[in-house]
Structure 1
Amino acid sequence: MNGSTDRYLNAARRDSTRRRYLQALEHFEEQWGGVLPASSESVVRYLAAHAEQLSVATLRTHLAALAQWHQRQGFVDPTKAPQVRDVLRGIKAEHPQAVKRAEALQLQALEACIDVLQHQVESAQPAIRLRAGRDRALVLLGFWRAFRGDDLCRLRIEHIQVRSGEGMEIFLASGKTDRQHEGVTFAVPALKRMCPVQAYEDWLDISGLRHGPVFRSIDRWGHLGHESLNPNSVSRLLRHAFVRNGLDGDSYSGHSLRRGFATWASKNQWGTKALMDYVGWRDVQSAMRYIDATAPFGDWRRGESGE
């Protein structure tokens, strides 16, 4: 294949997916000692060897990586063999695991964090001011638009249109569920408080950015990076935004923003269809994984106050 062909083949999958697949192949070859091309028998042994260490979801990702490698190289895909499917089903039956969910970011915790960041935005120290402005915009956009960490890292200034005091439109070229790479436009409303639109405008003013990635790294001296943040850094950034300001943030991850919004919307009587349309979920099961199971009881629960 020539360079152009490789470029378009790589573009067919997101960077995060390519990284996971490369890690999976490395795990199969270097850590376990597998050989490519693989046989269905070796894949079965690989699954059995890691049945207790890796989750079924992780094993499925590794199988997808192996399948793609064999298909691209023109070999028979060993993961399609019936015994591979049966072993995976057996592992799921023998080692059931509860789905790990990120802790939902509750509105009170969000307000506490944003209040502190608001004060830091006015700091005379460039590094503190920049970091606070970036974190405030990232957290508010992530929460109110229910973005994934990967979505936040793919935001580009030239793809965002702002109508001050009204809202903004964000075009994302492709996403996790955008298999055809058609892109999706998201509307973000201007709010009376904790406004994501105002936070974004303030971030552009503070940073002086006019094009390129919206969210970037910032070093100790207050220098902005040129590339976008890595999606893996969003969870760490969120936790640091809380911990740095004396708040409890150890249990949060990038998905806490998305799940936090879903929980808030459910408490505020959003219907399932309205929530699915706003967030972009295609099936009810996806939505239910993000909504706090206690949310439907609202004010009837002991110790609950409406938000």
Structure 2
Amino acid sequence: MNELERYLQAATRDNTRRSYQAAIEHFEVSWGGFLPATSDSVVRYLMAHAGVLSINTLKLRLSALAQWHNSQGFADPTKAPLVRKVFKGIRALHPAREKQAEPLELQHLEQVVARLDAQASLALAADDRPTLLRARRDKALILLGFWRGFRSDELCRLEIEHVRPVAGTGMTLYLPRSKSDRENLGKTYQAPALQRLCPVQAYIDWINSAALVRGPVFRGIDRWGHLGEEGLHANSVIPLLRQALERAGIAAEHYTSHSLRRGFATWAHRSGWDLKSLMSYVGWKDMKSAMRYIEASPFPGMSLVTEKPVDQGA
């Protein structure tokens, strides 16, 4: 890879790049399209998959086609008036309610943490290092993901060198890049120390148990208790969370990694946070994005946790 290719690759996130590659393959191989495409072929592609693929998926496919043509120096067929009009018609005739992850309610968070604590205590008594490590890792990941409203990829990219915890006070976390940081300037976050369900103490317990001093915070653990060198993949957060929920006796099929983020947003909304404060804390730039995460509460103002996290670095 030459210097130019390296910079071009760095300009697009890995997940986006993989999605675009899959979209181009679907257009060329699965559907039998030809690149460079014409606006007519793009219209036929949209019509062939209208009502089969979701609006968001079709939108991603169009973005991938646009990116391919622009990068290759060809005119972008997706910008043609006919393509835009057909896509608008598909959106009107095939409306679909966006599927959302179930928000992790505070009482379910308590159940999960209680189960992980019990698991850790039994493992400690039995000198079962692999189970102890998994319980403490999962507790730290879930609590930090909830109280900080982190996405799965943000949790998986946390580096020990960029985390400064102070027991009983709070912790500072720095992410060199994130989805909301379009310019890759890096952003510093604060996470609260709480009387219970504390992400700071959970993080300290995990790091001390694993004897980690540098590198990724959250890693894979094999059957013998050996830790991987690389961070967890973002896709592994969903099965990790669902397993923890199921062990706590909670039906987990509708929960995803977004459940942590939605759970915090729901809790904050019910606890009386105004939308501006919530958007600033979580990092939303668009009000519509924030509203999609908030679960309306029949009892506004009710809160099970009195401490309000303060985000001095956001």
Identity %: 56
Instruction: Please name the residue that 2:309 is paired with.
Output: none
Q: 1:173 touches 1:183 (CA, 8 Å); kept in 2?
A: yes
Instruction: Please name the residue that 1:49 is paired with.
Output: 48
1:298 and 2:300 aligned:
yes
Q: 2:219 touches 2:230 (CA, 8 Å); kept in 1?
A: yes
Q: CA deviation at 1:164?
A: 2.3
Instruction: Please name the residue that 2:79 is paired with.
Output: 80
Q: CA deviation at 1:217?
A: 1.6
1:176 and 2:179 aligned:
yes
Aligned residues: 300
One-letter amino acid of the counterpart of residue 185, structure 2: E
Structure 2 CA distance for aligned equivalents of residues 259 and 83 of structure 1: 37
Q: 1:120 touches 1:129 (CA, 8 Å); kept in 2?
A: yes
Structure 2 CA distance for aligned equivalents of residues 222 and 35 of structure 1: 50
Q: How does 1:210-249 map to 2 (within 5 A)?
A: 210-249=213-252
Q: CA deviation at 1:296?
A: 5.5
Q: 1:266 touches 1:296 (CA, 8 Å); kept in 2?
A: no
Instruction: Please name the residue that 2:270 is paired with.
Output: 267
Structure 1 CA distance for aligned equivalents of residues 134 and 281 of structure 2: 29
Q: CA deviation at 1:101?
A: 0.9
Q: CA deviation at 1:306?
A: 5.1
Structure 2 CA distance for aligned equivalents of residues 176 and 247 of structure 1: 30
Instruction: Please name the residue that 2:170 is paired with.
Output: 167
Structure 1 CA distance for aligned equivalents of residues 228 and 132 of structure 2: 15
Structure 2 CA distance for aligned equivalents of residues 22 and 234 of structure 1: 23
Structure 1 CA distance for aligned equivalents of residues 276 and 299 of structure 2: 19
Q: 2:111 touches 2:248 (CA, 8 Å); kept in 1?
A: no
275-284 vs 239-248, greater mean Cα deviation: 239-248
- Structural RMSD (CA): 1.5
Q: Deviations 1:32-57 (Å, cap 9, x if unpaired)?
A: 11122111111111111111111111
52-61 vs 136-145, greater mean Cα deviation: 52-61
Q: 1:67 touches 1:79 (CA, 8 Å); kept in 2?
A: yes
30-39 vs 252-261, greater mean Cα deviation: 30-39
Q: CA deviation at 1:256?
A: 0.4
Structure 2 CA distance for aligned equivalents of residues 101 and 258 of structure 1: 11
CA gap of 1:134–1:173, structure 2 versus 1, over 3 A, is: same
Q: Equivalent residue of 1:169, what SS?
A: strand
Structure 1 CA distance for aligned equivalents of residues 223 and 26 of structure 2: 35
Structure 1 CA distance for aligned equivalents of residues 99 and 250 of structure 2: 23
Structure 2 CA distance for aligned equivalents of residues 296 and 3 of structure 1: 57
Instruction: Please name the residue that 1:199 is paired with.
Output: 202
Instruction: Please name the residue that 2:96 is paired with.
Output: 97
Structure 1 CA distance for aligned equivalents of residues 224 and 33 of structure 2: 46
212-221 vs 103-112, greater mean Cα deviation: 212-221
One-letter amino acid of the counterpart of residue 206, structure 2: W
Q: How does 1:100-139 map to 2 (within 5 A)?
A: 100-122=99-121, 123=123, 124-139=127-142
One-letter amino acid of the counterpart of residue 233, structure 1: S
One-letter amino acid of the counterpart of residue 262, structure 1: A
One-letter amino acid of the counterpart of residue 181, structure 1: N
Instruction: Please name the residue that 1:209 is paired with.
Output: 212
Q: Equivalent residue of 1:121, what SS?
A: helix
**TM (normalized to structure 2)?**
0.92
Structure 1 CA distance for aligned equivalents of residues 246 and 299 of structure 2: 31
Q: 1:167 touches 1:197 (CA, 8 Å); kept in 2?
A: yes
CA gap of 1:10–1:46, structure 2 versus 1, over 3 A, is: same
Q: Deviations 1:189-211 (Å, cap 9, x if unpaired)?
A: 11111100111111111111111
Structure 2 CA distance for aligned equivalents of residues 244 and 225 of structure 1: 24
Q: Equivalent residue of 1:298, what SS?
A: coil
**TM (normalized to structure 1)?**
0.94
Q: 2:272 touches 2:300 (CA, 8 Å); kept in 1?
A: no
What are the ranges of 5 or more consecutive residues in structure 1 without an aligned counterpart?
300-304
What are the ranges of 5 or more consecutive residues in structure 2 without an aligned counterpart?
305-314
One-letter amino acid of the counterpart of residue 280, structure 2: D
Q: Equivalent residue of 1:235, what SS?
A: helix
Q: Equivalent residue of 1:100, what SS?
A: coil
